[in-house]
Amino acid sequence: MEKAEEKRHTIVPFGPQHPVLPEPLHFDFVLEDEKVVDVIPSIGYIHRGLEILVQKREFTEYVYVAERICGICSFIHGMGYCEAIEEIMKISVPERAKYLRLIWSELSRVHSHLLWLGLAADAFGFENLFMQAWRARELVLDIIEETTGGRVIFGACKIGGVRKDITDESLKTMVTVIDGMYKDVRTICDVFLNDSSVKERLCGIGILSREDAYSLGAVGPMLRASGVSYDTRKLGYGAFGDIDFDIVTETAGDCYARCAVRVHEIFQSFHIIKQAISKIPGGPISVKVTGAPNGEAMVRYEQPRGEVIYYVKANGTKFLTRFRARTPTFANIPAMIQALKGCDFADVANIVLTIDPCISCTER
Amino acid sequence: MTENKMMIDIGSDEVLSRVQSYQQGGYRLVQMCCVREPAGNVPADHLELHYTFGRDYEMVDLKFSIPPGAAIESITQIYPCAFLYENEIHDLYGVSIQGINIDFQGNFYKMAAAHPFNPDIEPGQAQKEK
């Protein structure tokens, strides 16, 4: 009798130091020949304990810490923290400040997506595309530097409003720069969406079904690329209630769909910024904050990588009891594991990158 | 769109049934976290746990308190993706959670100190240690 063929499993460690990963993340891949049959993720190499620091920094100073959770989506971390405190203290932020926050948060989204597009191009071996994406990103960083003085960590948000205003002249210049970027970024993005070699690496790879994306708690482009129309900006927080935009979704759930969602969201953000500039009201940019917060609040916002949750608990002193940030990458890990199962080992790097992992956020 | 969010206080004995009902109602798990200094009449040495669920743009936060050293049941049989949050709560606060589908046994975060967010807990008090 012929002996039944045994399936032999090989465990391959991946990371925490790996050329495709800018930050430490580890996986143990269980392989059957070249197919991934199981994945065990491991994070926690650089946990910084920033959340507990809220007990040692005054709540007004902690904005600076919140911004430093991440070097890419820093502004929205600061904004989310401020808005949670403002909700507890029932502070009404001036309308102009809400619009300024919106403009800077959407600029953050554009530069984050362009950064990701560059990293993705680098991962699938398209060096020139990587350089073009990052060159375009520089233009966005220049706008941010011009309006805030910073490039990735702005320090522009504070409890009760914003620290800096943008002059009408600068807003007009911003529109001109964005109009100029449309064609440039479109050319780059057309390569991402239409080039046959890019499609070869992304189409049909790392598929995440709509059901899995939802039930595993995926957020952001990871969720929307699987056909779920959910974008926290539709809650209308800040000035988003005055802005008209459609949620970008794709249905294939593969690496290409996740790439396409981010590409379309770049142009969506341009559209949102231009709308905000056309509607921004005059007036003050902040209100005076007195007293200390007492109570709790849970708020959610749309980071470039997806929904982020902030929970703040205060006891009436200058020092908060708890600050909690549930970041998008943390929520996307289970969905990423699902997308990796069944893939070829050679596609692992691409799939991991298409969730746009931010370990800095995850290891807050 | 107006944000619809609720915070609901529940007893620790009704957690699993509540979580089950949210899963059956089509809610996704949004987050889980732990807090010291619970509110209300709960003793100060208790820990407060928050389990948050979402459906469309609705958000529900269940919160309940547990006494120091108490063990709780994992909800990974209901929401498999909860393993990340449960390992995090164990490592940062020393809460013993039984039946996690992927249990890192205290090695989820590689830290010099055990349970750094909960200095009240003695090293080794939590059931799973490095």
DSSP sequence for A28-60: EEEEETTEEEEEEEE--SS---TTGGGGTS-TT
* Chain B residue nearest residue A233, CA to CA: B1
- Provide the pLDDT for residue A5: 58
Residue A43 lies inside a defined structural domain of this protein: no
Q: Chains A, B: CB contacts under 8 A, how many?
A: 87
Residue A30 lies inside a defined structural domain of this protein: no
Query: Which of A40, A216, A298 is the closest to B52 by Cβ?
Result: A298
Residue B31 lies inside a defined structural domain of this protein: yes
Q: Does the beta-carbon distance from A217 to B30 stay under 8 Å? A: yes
- For residue B77, what are the domain limits? 4-98
- The answer on pLDDT for B8 being more than 80 is yes
Q: How far is B47 from chain A (nearest CA, A)?
A: 12
Q: What's B45's domain CATH number?
A: 3.30.460.80
Q: Does the beta-carbon distance from A309 to B52 stay under 8 Å? A: yes
Report d(CA A229, CA A128) in Å as an integer. Answer: 33
- For residue A294, what are the domain limits? 59-357
* Chain B residue nearest residue A306, CA to CA: B30
Residue A214 lies inside a defined structural domain of this protein: yes
Chain B residues in contact with A49 by the CB 8 A cut-off are 111, 116-117
Flag whether residue B2 sits within 8 Å of chain A, measured between CB atoms.
Answer: yes
Q: Does the beta-carbon distance from A298 to B61 stay under 8 Å? A: yes
Residue B124 lies inside a defined structural domain of this protein: no
Q: Does the beta-carbon distance from B31 to A326 stay under 8 Å? A: yes
Residue B22 lies inside a defined structural domain of this protein: yes
Query: Which of A47, A214, A333 is the closest to B28 by Cβ?
Result: A214
Looking at the DSSP bridge assignments, the partners of residue A5 are: none
State the total domains in chain A: 1
Q: How far is A296 from chain B (nearest CA, A)?
A: 10
Q: What's A221's domain CATH number?
A: 1.10.645.10
Query: Three-state SS for A312?
Result: strand
Q: Does the beta-carbon distance from B35 to A321 stay under 8 Å? A: yes
Query: Which of A52, A236, A333 is the closest to B116 by Cβ?
Result: A52
- Provide the pLDDT for residue B108: 86
Q: Does the beta-carbon distance from A234 to B91 stay under 8 Å? A: no
Which residues lie below 8 Å from residue A180, measured CB to CB, with a gap of 6+?
Answer: none
Q: Does the beta-carbon distance from A235 to B1 stay under 8 Å? A: yes
Residues A178-199 have pLDDT tens digits of: 999 999 999 999 998 999 998 9
- The answer on pLDDT for B1 being more than 70 is no
Residues B80-96 have pLDDT tens digits of: 999 999 999 999 988 99
* Chain A residue nearest residue B58, CA to CA: A235
- The answer on pLDDT for B127 being more than 70 is no
Query: Which of A47, A51, A230 is the closest to B111 by Cβ?
Result: A47
Closest CA to B68 of B95, B42, B92: B95
Q: How far is A72 from chain B (nearest CA, A)?
A: 22
Query: Which of A49, A214, A235 is the closest to B3 by Cβ?
Result: A235
Q: Give the phi and the psi of residue A40 in degrees, each rounded to 5.
A: -120, 115
Which residues lie below 8 Å from residue A144, measured CB to CB, with a gap of 6+?
Answer: A104, A107, A108, A111, A150, A151, A152, A154
- Provide the pLDDT for residue B2: 61
Query: Which of A215, A241, A334 is the closest to B84 by Cβ?
Result: A334
- Spans of chain A, pLDDT less than 50: 1-2
Q: Does the beta-carbon distance from B33 to A324 stay under 8 Å? A: yes
Residue A34 lies inside a defined structural domain of this protein: no
pLDDT band at B125 (very low <50, low <70, confident <90, very high): low
Flag whether residue B107 sits within 8 Å of chain A, measured between CB atoms.
Answer: yes
Q: Counting beta carbons within 10 angstroms of the beta carbon of residue A190, is it exposed (0 to 12), middle (13 to 18) or buried (19 or more)?
A: exposed
User: Nearest-5° angle of CA A147, CA A151, CA A154?
Assistant: 65
For testing contact with chain B, the best of A50, A244, A322 (most B CBs within 10 A): A322
Residue B116 lies inside a defined structural domain of this protein: no
State the total domains in chain B: 1
- Provide the pLDDT for residue B129: 47
Q: Does the beta-carbon distance from B111 to A44 stay under 8 Å? A: yes
Residue B105 lies inside a defined structural domain of this protein: no
Residue A112 lies inside a defined structural domain of this protein: yes
- Provide the pLDDT for residue B114: 82
Looking at the DSSP bridge assignments, the partners of residue B111 are: none
Indicate if ipTM > 0.85: yes
Residue B68 lies inside a defined structural domain of this protein: yes
- Among residues 15-34 of chain B, which lie with CB inside 8 Å of chain A? 28-31, 33
- Provide the pLDDT for residue A1: 46
Residues B26-60 have pLDDT tens digits of: 999 999 999 887 666 777 788 899 999 999 899 99
Q: Which residue has the tokens 């990974």?
A: B76
